[in-house]
Structure 1
Amino acid sequence: MSQERRGIRVPLGKLKPLDCQQKAKLMNRARKLCGQSVDWCCSLVAHYGEALCRRSSMASYLDWYQNAVQEGEVDRDFPRVNYNDLEESEEEPHLGGKGSYKKLLPDHRMAARDRGNQKLLDFIVKRKGAERHLLDLVDGRKHSTWLDSFLSSTRHMGCVETYLEDEDQLDVLVRYLQEIYKQIDQRMLTGIKNDKVNFVLEVLLPEAIICSMSALEGLDYKDAEAKYLDGPPVHYREKELFDKKALVERRQRKNSLSYKSNNRDASFPRP
């Protein structure tokens, strides 16, 4: 019977050799985030390396660490790190070597959502999985609460929930739905007053996505509709970054307006 394998799991893409060329830069970044914890870890690695060189220990790192703690060779108290405060970021110098800026790495959650949304898009556009459902709507053969809301509304939404976040995906879907619109029943066309843009965005788009969710995820229509209305699951860090960016842009606009106002007042001196 083989022994159970033990170890520490880390993303392979984040691993770098300890003596890599970027060691000094990475160490400085790590010290800013983790303080003395980094030096403490490097000290442990050095102790383990010395033990291997002396051949006093051929055990795995975790086994060696446990024995070293018991024998008092290393400090038992590991510094506390708040991992919620760590962001996947990278500091790079500006052109010209002056200062630095913080570049956020692509968010894995958004990439995962885009991949999931691509499956919805392929189902709708390539496999035409929602086409029969949509044609029944435009021909008036199937009831739709989205259509009822559209027909009864005196004003249409200024902001439409598209669920899809990628603009290219959204563009592909809208162009496909415009082809569906061309097959609309004449009575329906009269009822919607030839309002192609709003009909596509407020009726066909949600119906297509809800239909694909229902088919691919095994949900009934109501559950799929509820998921669509909830929108994509946004991580708190994404929301925080969005709020910070919006706040900065608002301050910049305010400062710009204030600057223009001051210049205008200065150009017209009072008598």
Structure 2
Amino acid sequence: FFTSLRNLKHFDCEEKQTLIDKARESSQDINWCINLIADYRIRLCCRSFTGTLLEYCADDMSCPVRKESRHNLSQMTFPQIEEVGSEDPPPEATPPKPPRKVLPDRTRAARDRANEKIVEFIVKAKGADEHLRAILKSEKESQWWKKFLKVSPHMTPIETYLEDDDQQERVVEYLKKVYREVVAKPLPFVTGDKFILDVLFPEAIIFAISAVDQIDYKKAEQKYIRGPVLSQREKEIFEEEISEKKRKQRLQAADPLS
């Protein structure tokens, strides 16, 4: 039979007892159904069965409960495994479509390859050295330095553009080297590592984006602040991971033994 989704309610809804009493007015078969569901739930908690309710009904494990019904109980059928060759398929039957193959998303890999050019420009070609040294010597203004001085020392907003940990590590290690070469002694009221992450890192990446993409500094800065543009597939994968994590949390909360 078919019914609208609006007619469906959770088995443990607030109206459960009212709905059961209403069903009993026309037939007592509802008691048999409830006993079947209760036994299925007990077996799930005891971990003696792990399948779905339909799989439980089709399994021999449910036979004792199913046989407890009255003799005049209307016949109820459950999924059965068809014997091979027992019956020819109807002429209009069509073979099921194969499941759609989900291809891996390669957008992240493409971004990492593009970002590798930025890393090489900074680390290998030393293309941002002059820009960074001018900032450290106060020969150039830096909005990131101004922002750094205004932000509380206990709250450091870290802008991320490079998604690969190895790429980030290589850039940071190189910036530490530049910092030590230019700054003879630590800057007043400044922690070296914090200054490198909050000022030199964004300045180096933005300058490299400007050079590699051949765009002006302002557009490169906007691209850096905007961050990587995720593909639709990446968003779907992320949502699937979140849904799966929530599902596991719900199962763990429902089963304290897990």
TM-score (norm 1): 0.54
Matched residue SS, 1:164 = coil
Q: How does 1:131-210 map to 2 (within 5 A)?
A: 131-155=129-153, 157=155, 160-185=158-183, 189-192=187-190, 195-210=191-206
Matched residue SS, 2:181 = coil
Q: How does 1:33-112 map to 2 (within 5 A)?
A: 33=100, 87-88=102-103, 105=104, 107-112=105-110
Match of 2:233 among 230, 237, 249: 237
**8 Å contact 2:186–2:192 — kept in the other structure?**
no
Q: Structure 1 residues 258, 142: closer, same or farther in 2, change over 3 A?
A: farther
* AA aligned opposite 1:233: V
Partner Cα separation in structure 2 for residue 123 and residue 143 of structure 1: 22
Structure 1: segments with no counterpart, 5+ residues = 1-27, 34-85, 89-104, 264-271
- Give the CA deviation at 1:156: 5.3
The structure with the larger Rg is 2
Match of 1:32 among 89, 95, 99: 99
Count residues with an aligned counterpart.
Answer: 163
* AA aligned opposite 2:245: E
* AA aligned opposite 2:168: L
Match of 2:221 in 1: 225
Match of 1:126 among 95, 109, 124: 124
- Give the CA deviation at 1:87: 2.5
Q: Structure 1 residues 248, 133: closer, same or farther in 2, change over 3 A?
A: same
Structure 2: segments with no counterpart, 5+ residues = 1-94
Match of 1:252 among 248, 254, 258: 248
- Give the CA deviation at 1:247: 3.3
Partner Cα separation in structure 1 for residue 162 and residue 219 of structure 2: 18
- CA-atom RMSD in angstroms: 2.6
**8 Å contact 2:176–2:196 — kept in the other structure?**
yes
**8 Å contact 1:121–1:173 — kept in the other structure?**
yes
Q: Deviations over 1:95-129 (max 9, x none)?
A: xxxxxxxxxx3x22212111110100000000000
Q: Structure 1 residues 240, 127: closer, same or farther in 2, change over 3 A?
A: same
TM-score (norm 2): 0.56
Higher relative contact order (CA 8 A, sep 6+): 2
Partner Cα separation in structure 2 for residue 133 and residue 146 of structure 1: 13
**8 Å contact 1:135–1:183 — kept in the other structure?**
no
**8 Å contact 2:156–2:198 — kept in the other structure?**
no
Matched residue SS, 1:247 = helix
**8 Å contact 2:134–2:140 — kept in the other structure?**
yes
Residue identity over aligned pairs, in percent, reads: 39
- Give the CA deviation at 1:29: 10
**8 Å contact 1:125–1:176 — kept in the other structure?**
yes
**8 Å contact 2:118–2:209 — kept in the other structure?**
yes
